[in-house]
Structure 1
Amino acid sequence: MVKLIDEFRRGWQGTSPPSIATSIAFAAACLLLATLVRWGLAQVRPDIFFTPYFPAVFFAAAFGGLRIGVFTALVGGMLGIAVNFGETHLDRARFVLLVLYWAVSALTIWGVEHYRSLLIEQRRISKRLIEEEHYRKLVVDELQHRLKNKLSTVHAVLHQVLHDQPQVWARIDPRLRSLASTDDLIAKVDNSGCDIRDLLISELGPYGHVRFTLNGDRLFLPAKLAVTMSLMFHELATNASKYGAFSSPRGLLQVSWTVSDGRLIITWDETEGPIIDKVSPPGFGTKLLKSALLAFDGKTEISYLRTGVHCIMQCRLPKV
């Protein structure tokens, strides 16, 4: 019984054709139900001969296909001729109605078959796309694994080479770790990018969630822009931990962002940090902040206020 129900379900959904026996049994059930409906209608209109068999033809063709649909149409026509309910007599008009019934049934069966062929083709294409997507995911996962291993190898090699230069290594190590963290974050959303809020929380979270506030709507950053912004956020957060808001017990940071006319504007505003009396010459981090957004038709403006660093980053937001 369970096997029969499963075969009926797969046949009705079009995933696999039902057996001939099951199709004929279903068509016979449709014809029986149509005949019972015809008997009920005959209590009001005895001259209804073929109309109740149209749904039977439709459902039988949809379930069993072309041959079962033709079989149901032929048997339905014979029942309409041979079986009488009430005081009706066989005349020429009934044969004319039979021809019309078969003509409409033929159109119905053709329409159902056309729809079935489209459905089968759509299922075939969907299956192929699912297989290709599965294969693509396997390839992407393998590439991500290899890139992660290469980044770890580069990290280990540089650490070994710069073992005797701790100051240089201290500048390189956190940036490599920031890149690795951003790659992991981007990989979680299928390598297409990440949300700016998630990126900021990933960079600022280690300093304590009570030390910063984020103001802005959810905004998805494409992968290339996300990597660039992660490096910039890392530089700003590192400077804040050494010289800015995060180096002071009462220091706070507020990051806001808006989108206007396709351009992203981010404001980095530090308060309650140490008073800045003297600004050192631009180093690598400052040069990175100044030039990182040039590829996105953007720029960075940094102001060293007495209350803390005030930085405005703006760039063209690439279309996803």
Structure 2
Amino acid sequence: MVKLVDEFRKGWQGVAPPSLGLSLVFAAACIALATLARWGLAHVRPDVYFTPYFPAVFFATAFGGFRIGILTAIVGGVLGVVLNFGDTVADHARFALMALYWAVCALTIWGVEHYRTMLVEQRRIAKRLIEEEDYRKLLVDELQHRLKNKLSTVHAVLHQVLHEQPQVWSRIDPRLRSLAATDDLISRIDNTGCDIRDLLISELGPYGHVRFTLNGDRLFLPAKLAVTLSLMFHELATNAGKYGAFSSPRGLLQVSWTVNDDRLTITWDETEGPTVDKVSAPGFGTKLLKSALSAFDGKTEISYLKTGLHCIMQCRIPQKG
């Protein structure tokens, strides 16, 4: 009994096609209910012969398919002619109504079957997309694991090679740790999000906490926006370490942010760094900074001032959920 109920539930929801036997039983039940309704209506209108069978055809087709629908329509038409509730008898008018009834049933069956076909196709596409998403997640997790292992191997090899050159190692080690921290952070916040202050501290911490100041209230970032900003902060911090404030002993960085309604504005100000004499052609990092926030109705403005790089990032904060 439980198995039968489960098969009926799956067939009704369109998860799996029901068996022929269950479809026939369901169609017979629909016809029986329609005939009972016709008997009740006969006390008011004895000339209602076929109308109660339209719902039976609709539900039988929706549950069992067009073949079951056609069979239900034929049986309903025959019962509409043969069964008499009252003193009425079959005449030419009733046969004409039966032909009209079958024509309407044909349209009903075609429409329901068309909908069922679309539903099956949508379920197939949804299942394939879910399988592809699961495979993508598995692949990304594996790539993250391999990347982490490779970065650890590079870190160990460089430490072994440069253990007699502490000055060189002291400049390389924070960068490698920053890369590792970024990878771990992106993996960790991918489904949860994080606070913007924690995000910035994770990115800028390897360069020394006395080299930067953060100004702004606590602000929780949704996962997708947090991942995007983590990539942008990492790019800006890397450039600051190579060419900007963090490459100079006296260089400083100030990051501030404000929120107005649902708009977030982040200001990145570098001072006391090397003077920018010539700006090279835009590379991948610059393109990333320029386009990353477009998905959040945002933009990025970068200026190379005498005091250092000045960057303003503006975007919309997505609503939770």
Secondary structure of 2:216's counterpart equals strand
Structure 2 counterpart of 1:159: 159
After superposition, where does 1:246-257 map in structure 2 within 5 Å?
255-256=256-257
Query: 2:257 is matched by which residue type in structure 1?
Result: S
Distance (whole Å) between structure 1 residues aligned to residue 235 and residue 255 of structure 2: 20
Query: 2:256 is matched by which residue type in structure 1?
Result: V
User: Does structure 2 retain, via aligned residues, the 8 Å contact 1:27–1:56?
Assistant: yes
1:161 Cα offset (Å): 1.6
Distance (whole Å) between structure 1 residues aligned to residue 255 and residue 140 of structure 2: 36
Gapped runs of 5+ residues in structure 1?
247-252, 271-278, 304-309
After superposition, where does 1:38-187 map in structure 2 within 5 Å?
38-187=38-187
Change (3 A) 1:161 1:172: same
1:8 Cα offset (Å): 0.2
Structure 1 counterpart of 2:5: 5
Query: 2:111 is matched by which residue type in structure 1?
Result: G
> Normalising to structure 2: TM-score of the pair?
0.72
Gapped runs of 5+ residues in structure 2?
291-301, 316-321
User: Does structure 1 retain, via aligned residues, the 8 Å contact 2:162–2:169?
Assistant: yes
1:94 Cα offset (Å): 0.9
User: Does structure 1 retain, via aligned residues, the 8 Å contact 2:267–2:312?
Assistant: yes
Could you report, residue by residue, the CA deviation over 1:5-53 in whole angstroms, capped at 9, with x for unpaired residues? 1000111122222112211111111111111222222222221111111
1:91 Cα offset (Å): 1.5
1:177 Cα offset (Å): 1.0
Structure 1 counterpart of 2:216: 214
Distance (whole Å) between structure 2 residues aligned to residue 149 and residue 229 of structure 1: 25
1:125 Cα offset (Å): 2.0
Secondary structure of 2:89's counterpart equals coil
Could you report, residue by residue, the CA deviation over 1:210-236 in whole angstroms, capped at 9, with x for unpaired residues? x8443579555277535303536889x
Query: 1:299 is matched by which residue type in structure 2?
Result: S
User: Does structure 2 retain, via aligned residues, the 8 Å contact 1:31–1:76?
Assistant: yes
Distance (whole Å) between structure 1 residues aligned to residue 179 and residue 148 of structure 2: 10
Secondary structure of 2:90's counterpart equals coil
User: Does structure 2 retain, via aligned residues, the 8 Å contact 1:30–1:56?
Assistant: yes
Out of 231, 238, 242, the position equivalent to 1:231 is 238
Change (3 A) 1:294 1:139: closer
Could you report, residue by residue, the CA deviation over 1:174-203 in whole angstroms, capped at 9, with x for unpaired residues? 121111111122234659x99856522534
Change (3 A) 1:195 1:102: farther
User: Does structure 2 retain, via aligned residues, the 8 Å contact 1:258–1:266?
Assistant: no
TM-align CA RMSD: 4.2
Change (3 A) 1:244 1:214: farther
Structure 1 counterpart of 2:35: 35
After superposition, where does 1:19-30 map in structure 2 within 5 Å?
19-30=19-30
1:81 Cα offset (Å): 1.1
Secondary structure of 2:257's counterpart equals strand
User: Does structure 2 retain, via aligned residues, the 8 Å contact 1:178–1:230?
Assistant: no
User: Does structure 2 retain, via aligned residues, the 8 Å contact 1:301–1:311?
Assistant: yes
Could you report, residue by residue, the CA deviation over 1:115-145 in whole angstroms, capped at 9, with x for unpaired residues? 1122222222222222222222222222211
Could you report, residue by residue, the CA deviation over 1:237-291 in whole angstroms, capped at 9, with x for unpaired residues? x96xx97999xxxxxx7622689xx997524599xxxxxxxx6x749xxx9xxx9
Distance (whole Å) between structure 1 residues aligned to residue 93 and residue 284 of structure 2: 86
Identity fraction in percent: 59
Distance (whole Å) between structure 2 residues aligned to residue 205 and residue 46 of structure 1: 87
Change (3 A) 1:137 1:230: farther
User: Does structure 2 retain, via aligned residues, the 8 Å contact 1:257–1:264?
Assistant: yes
Distance (whole Å) between structure 2 residues aligned to residue 16 and residue 292 of structure 1: 49
Secondary structure of 1:156's counterpart equals helix
Query: 1:167 is matched by which residue type in structure 2?
Result: Q
